[in-house]
Amino acid sequence: MKKLLSILALVTACFGGTAAVAAEGGYPLEPAPVNTTDLFSLQRGAKLFVNYCLNCHGASMMRYNRLRDIGLTEDQIRENLLFTGDKVGDVMTVAMRSKDAKEWFGVAPPDLSVISRARGDAWLYTYLRTFYRDDTRATGWNNLVFPNVGMPHVLWELQGQRAAKFVEQEEHGQKVHKFVGFEQITPGQLSSVEYDGAVADLVAYLDWMGEPAQNQRRRLGVWVLLFLGVFTFLAWRLNASYWKDIK
C-alpha cells in the first residue's frame, strides 16, 4: 500500500507539476488561448508581428510568401506587410544592424523564427502582457516574467501604461518583493480583453511560424493513422484466411 502511494505521488509530481509552472520572475504563466488553425487569428498576428516586432527582431527562417499558407495572397502580402523594400520571396530580416542593437539595448534582440519552441506559448503570452513602467530601467520598462529585460514595451499604446505594485514579504527567512497587482496609469487603445485577444493572435502567429507545416502535419497524421487501421484489419483477415485450411 505504501509503495503504491509513493508511486502515485511520483506520477502526480510528474504530470501535475506542469500546471504550476512559473517563470524566472516567479510569476505564474498563463496558458495561451491560441488556435493555429484559425487563419484569421494568424493573419491578425502576422500583421502585429510585422508592424511591431520586425523593427528589432528578424525571423530569418520565414519567407513572406510562406504567408500564403495562412490564407493571404501575394498582393495582400505586398500591400499590407512589406515595408522595407523587401520582395515577397525574401526572408523576414531586420533593418537594424545587430551591433547598433547591442549598443542601444545592451543585448541584441534574438531571431524569433522558433521562439515559441524555445519559450513555449504560455511564456510568450504572459511575457507580452506583463510589462510595467519602471523608471530605474534604461528603457523605462520592466517585466514580471523576464525581470530587467532589455526590451521596451513595444505594444504599450495598445495596452496603455501600467505600474506594478509590490509588497515586501518574508519568505523562508528572506525578504522578497511580492507582486500584488497592476495599476493602470494611462488607458490603451484596446480594452484589456481586446489586448489579451491581440496578444493571443500574435502568439498564435509565433507558434505557427515556429513550424509552418504543423497544420499539414496534423492533417496528414490522421490519414496515416486511418491507413494503418485499415491495413491492420486487412492483414489480420488475410492471415486468417491463409491459415484457415491448415488448422
Residues that bind ligand HEC (CB under 6 A): 52-53, 55-57, 105, 107, 109-110, 112, 115, 119, 124, 127, 149-152, 154-155, 202
- Smallest distance, ligand HEC to C-beta of residue 96, A: 8
Q: Which is nearer to ligand HEC, 3 or 29 (CB)?
A: 29
- Smallest distance, ligand HEC to C-beta of residue 121, A: 11
- Smallest distance, ligand HEC to C-beta of residue 230, A: 44
Q: Which is nearer to ligand HEC, 107 or 230 (CB)?
A: 107
The gap between the terminal CA atoms of the chain, to the nearest Å, is 47
b/e map of 154-190 (b: 16 or more CB within 10 Å)?
A: bbbebbbbbebeeeeeeeeeeeeeeeeebeeeeebeb
Amino acid at 41: S
For CA atoms 154, 129, 181, 165, give the dihedral sign.
negative
Q: Which is nearer to ligand HEC, 53 or 70 (CB)?
A: 53
> Do the beta carbons of residue 93 and residue 82 sit within 8 Å?
no
- Smallest distance, ligand HEC to C-beta of residue 235, A: 48
Q: Which is nearer to ligand HEC, 5 or 206 (CB)?
A: 206
- What is the grid cell recorded at 207? 507558434
